[in-house]
Amino acid sequence: MNLQIISDFHEEHHGHDIAPYINKDADIVILAGDISTGTTGVSLALDSAELHPSITHVVVFGNHELYDLDYAEYLALVNMWNDLAPNLHFLENRSISLENGIEIFGGIGWSNLNTPNHKELHERVQDFSAIDYYGKPVTIEDFRHFNNEYWSNAQKWFKTSTGKTKILVSHFPQSTALKHKQYEKNDLDYYFCADRDLEIKEAGEHGVSLMVSGHTHDSFSTSIQGVRQESRQVGYPFESNDALDAVGGLNSMIVI
């Protein structure tokens, strides 16, 4: 089975549809968040699913989709969107079983913000003013709670799943080792990436062979705690695509 991964497409900056970027030879495409803001990402994914009816589309939201949509509202809507097309699946802390024993668990994932320097994060990261949860800006505690929710549901899944191929998807990478390669290590790494190496190890021990993420505007093909980590990120128009090209470009596919 051929898997294509796309994240951080950021349609809100260039106005392109996602459908032309789907590889026609893909069996599954994972859209790993920041496709656009608000429900535009949903429309783009639906258009693509309708144009490519034989390709399974699996979507998780990123933080930027929530810049135009309260997270509580998203949680209330997401299951309804799963009725839009038979080959379109939105995952938020839940899994889906596909053909050939492939199971995918997905969600935004968030970060556990594992640094004591929360004040700096709160001041520097736009999410804390741009994302609402029940009508109020998300807090440091909300972030940590959402990341705990992601992992407690993921753990329930990978401990009970009988799938042959188990894939874990999150918008936020779940190891700080997946920080953007170009930048010096700093406290923002703990916003961009959760510090969940122990849980990644546990996932690997329970048969998770691949994790897919986005968010950093870097791309990678590597391994953490023995679990393969893949990311294909477009980023903003002014950003370099060298890292994306180095892992084969947006059109590349992974055989699973």
Binding residues (CB under 5 A) for Fe ion: these are 8, 34, 62-63, 215
Question: Do the bridges between strand 220-224 and strand 132-133 make them parallel or antiparallel, or are there none, so unpaired?
Answer: unpaired
Angle subtended by helix axes 197-205 and 140-160, to nearest 10: 10
Least distance in angstroms from the C-beta of 191 to Fe ion: 10
Residue-by-residue DSSP string for 56-84: EEEEE--TTGGGSS-HHHHHHHHHHHTTS
50 or 142: whose CB is closer to Fe ion? Answer: 142
Smallest gap from Cβ 192 to Fe ion, in A, equals 8
Quote the CA–CA distance of 57 and 96 in Å, as a whole number. Answer: 11
Instruction: Give 90's DSSP letter.
Output: E
Got the DSSP string for 26-63?
A: -SEEEEES-SSSTTHHHHHHHHHHHHSTTSEEEEE--T
Q: How far is the CB of 153 from Fe ion (least distance, A)?
A: 20
Please list, in sequence order, all residues whose beta carbon lies within 8 angstroms of the beta carbon of residue 242, skipping any fewer than 6 positions away.
none
Least CB distance from residue 10 to Fe ion, whole Å?
A: 6
DSSP H or E stretch at residue 11: helix 11-14
H or E stretch covering 103:
strand 102-107
Nearest CB to Fe ion, comparing residues 34 and 103: 34
CB closer to Fe ion, 93 vs 231: 231
Spell out the residues 6+ positions from residue 105 whose beta carbon is closer than 8 angstroms to its own: 91, 94, 95, 153, 154, 157, 158, 161, 166, 167, 168, 169
- Of residues 8 and 195, the one with the C-beta less far from Fe ion: 8
Cβ 232 to Fe ion shortest distance, Å: 12
Side chain identity at residue 148, one-letter code: N
Q: Which is nearer to Fe ion, 32 or 168 (CB)?
A: 32
Closest approach of Fe ion to the CB of residue 108, in Å: 9
Closest CB to Fe ion among residues 109, 163: 109
